[in-house]
Amino acid sequence: MKAEILSIGTELLMGELTDLNASWIASRLPALGIQLRWVSIIGDDLEMLAEAFTRGMQRSDIIFTTGGLGPTQDDLTREAVARAFGEEPTVQEDVLSDLEQYFQARGAPMPAHNIKQAHLIPSAQFIPNRNGTAPGWWAEKNGGIIVSMPGPPGEMHPIWEEEVEPRLRKLVTEEVTVTRNIKTMGLSEAAIDEMISEYFGLENPYLGIYSKADGIHLRIIARAADTGAAWDMINPVADGIEEQLGPYVWGYDEETPEQAVGQILKERGLTLATMESCTGGFLVNCITDVPDSASYYKGGVVAYTNEMKIASGVPADVIERHGAISQQTAHAMAAVAADSLGADYGIGITGVAGPERVEDHPPGLAYLSIVGTGEGKEMEMRVPPRRVTIKRRMSNTALIELRKLLTAANPGAKVPPGGLL
């Protein structure tokens, strides 16, 4: 089944917003056996949109759209689909009633312009949206399908997972594609390429290598008649990669560093505290992005100045003897964070975010320390001297190294597809 994605909105063409929806949808199509052929961004123009839908229906089996389902005059996705299908939309009273109740529950009358969100053509069905006022459309005609979803990811993602993907699984009965992501840190692309060269160059299963902010990712893609057969092709490759790269593997599939370390902290009843300097709060932000992080994260301090480090408990003589940018200070920060909050583990990060030198140290120099009830970790790092890179790289490294420490006692543990340690 061939597919294309239309990201709709003039704000995307103007650079006011970045289109993240297309890549999100694209990453979910291979496992459904759907081949993505085109991705386009189109402005809020009725003629252009209708033309895009007409052209898309000629070359693709299914079109996914995001955006243009709001109540304003420039939200034209419904009108464009109707024009491409040659059908007239009409108001559906039951959906209009639901919209009115939605606004009443929030203590406000429904604006008249929202009525257009209750419009539907004969060839379409509504896709429920429990997180907003804009229901999606599932429209079918002459063997082609257009699936229209809201633009905000907070609305689009649940619609996809709860409504669209289950329908697609019933619809696609041909060859399926299954993927497995193995995430590593500590080796370069070239080193990994050399270590597992025997797995590259195959067509099915295919192995790709990608450099990401949290390390080097390896993606195995297999196509087969069914999911079980695809996994039979993936598993030997995954096992071989893990045998070669085991100490450097930190996660799988959709795992993030904060999810990976959070899961194991929670399962083992362990707690964490942090003190960071050059990362400026990026570390605590990552940790608390996990919904249940309060069960294992005690808290953290952003000690951006020497005065704040000392006020938070870092001994002044450590900073005087070794400097704020030193392994000793990072260690003291980690120890103070753990001790002051009664946590099992502490993370300390200090460094030079740039662009100027600090204490005659160059931008990009950073120190990480992890202390705790088990084995600790001390690291000096040289990171590309860009502030956002330093923040992201140091935070990811800290979490990944902590996860490695926590799993070192059980190095043979493996993660099932889609699961966490």
**What pLDDT shows up at residue 416?**
39
Under DSSP, is residue 321 helix (H, G, I), strand (E, B) or coil? helix
pLDDT digits (tens, 9 = 90+) for 100-130: 988 988 899 999 999 999 999 999 999 999 9
**What pLDDT shows up at residue 417?**
41
* The two three-digit tokens of residue 237, written as one number: 């490759």
Do the Cβ atoms of 282 and 395 come closer than 8 Å? yes
**What pLDDT shows up at residue 121?**
97
**What pLDDT shows up at residue 412?**
43
Burial class (CB in 10 A: 0-12, 13-18, 19+), 103: middle
**What pLDDT shows up at residue 235?**
96
The conformational region for residue 280 under phi > 0 = left, psi -120 to 50 = alpha, else beta, is left
Domains annotated for the chain, with CATH where assigned, are 2-171 (3.40.980.10), 176-252 (3.30.70.2860), 257-407 (3.90.950.20)
The 345-351 sheet, strands edge to edge: 297-302, 272-276, 345-351, 365-372, 377-382
CA-to-CA distance for 258 and 97, rounded, in angstroms? 42
**What pLDDT shows up at residue 413?**
42
**Per DSSP, what are the bridge partners of residue 145?**
62, 140
Residues of the chain with pLDDT under 70: 173-174, 409-421
**Per DSSP, what are the bridge partners of residue 365?**
382
User: Which is nearest to 369 in space by CA: 404, 341, 409, 329?
Assistant: 329
CA distances for 359 relative to 318, 324, 379, angstroms: 14, 8, 19
**What pLDDT shows up at residue 50?**
97
